[in-house]
Amino acid sequence: MRKTGIALLFGLISSVAYAGECTVDAEATASMAFNLKEIVISKKCTEVTINLKNSGTMAKNIMGHNLVISKASDMQAVLMDGSAAGLDNNYVKVNDARVVVNTKVIGGGESASVKFNLSKVKVSDSYMFFCSFPGHAGVMKGNVKFM
Ligand code: CO
């Protein structure tokens, strides 16, 4: 019984990124999904590193992915402006103050890393992570929690 409980616990943890060391390792897949449903960041972090890997094979203009974090309430506006900004701007409006952090758009087999300072967020607010490649955020999104 105890072993089953532990296995179940690991099963739950595997779909959540715990940034115990203030680093989040996320993967975007060929099937237009993130491997994480939720990102949990410790409030004790000063600086957070986001590592994104695109495990697909398609070029970035076809099935590229990025990882953007904003307040949940800003997400739709960030996406609209990001779509207008185009791939050359990684589908993020230049100097968008609503964006906490974003990676560049990467194609299959590529990786990207970005860092942000925790002072950029208000940990009591609701934040989301998402891919701003047009049409992706409907499924490529999840909550960012600060615990
Ligand atoms: Co995407």
Q: So what's the pLDDT on residue 5?
A: 54
Q: So what's the pLDDT on residue 18?
A: 57
Q: So what's the pLDDT on residue 90?
A: 98
* Residues that place a CB less than 5 A from ion ligand 1: 65, 131, 133, 136, 140
Residue 92 · residue 99 · CB < 8 Å? yes
What spacing in Å lies between the alpha carbon of 93 and ligand 1's midpoint?
Answer: 16
Dist CA 58 CA 63 (whole Å): 6
Quote the strand ranges of 82-140, DSSP E. 99-102, 111-117, 127-130
What spacing in Å lies between the alpha carbon of 130 and ligand 1's midpoint?
Answer: 8
Architecture of 16-146 per CATH?
Sandwich (2.60)
What spacing in Å lies between the alpha carbon of 33 and ligand 1's midpoint?
Answer: 7
- What confidence tens digit (pLDDT) does each residue in 45-69 have? 999 999 999 999 999 999 999 999 9
Domain segments of the chain: what residues?
16-146
Exposed / middle / buried, residue 42 (Cβ in 10 Å: 0-12, 13-18, 19+)? middle
- What confidence tens digit (pLDDT) does each residue in 112-142 have? 999 999 999 999 999 999 999 999 999 999 9
pTM of the model: 0.87
What spacing in Å lies between the alpha carbon of 142 and ligand 1's midpoint?
Answer: 13
